[in-house]
Amino acid sequence: MTGSVTITEAADGAAEVAVTIDSGLEEGSHLNHIHEGSCDPLGEVLASLTNLEAGADGGAAATTTTVTDPDFEHLAEGGHVVAVHDLQASPVACVAVEASAS
């Protein structure tokens, strides 16, 4: 499975989280979250993101803007992951959130 997560600063310090999965998801709706900690073991849910709606090709994309919690500054501190879950709510993709200098 390949894809990407892009987190950018939106207005008023909000975080815009764009998740794209190129292929490999089962067709249907997939939960999508920011979790505390790491992928192994997967930490508590910090914020729910917009569900990914996978088509027959297994690809999906969704963008969520978080207004206050977590804001961009909080996510840039690190210690978080974005996880995509299968139709049974088990994680199938997970990536660490890393701050980058601008």
Mean pLDDT, range 34-62, rounded to an integer: 94
Return the domain boundaries, the chain: 2-97
Output the pLDDT for position 73.
87
102 vs 97, more confident: 97
Distance from C-alpha of 27 to C-alpha of 97, rounded to nearest angstrom? 26
φ/ψ of residue 70, rounded to 5: -90, 145
Distance from C-alpha of 89 to C-alpha of 31, rounded to nearest angstrom? 7
* Global model pTM greater than 0.75: yes
Distance from C-alpha of 90 to C-alpha of 61, rounded to nearest angstrom? 19
Query: Is it true that domain 2-97 has CATH number 2.60.40.200?
Result: yes
80 vs 68, more confident: 80
Output the pLDDT for position 15.
87
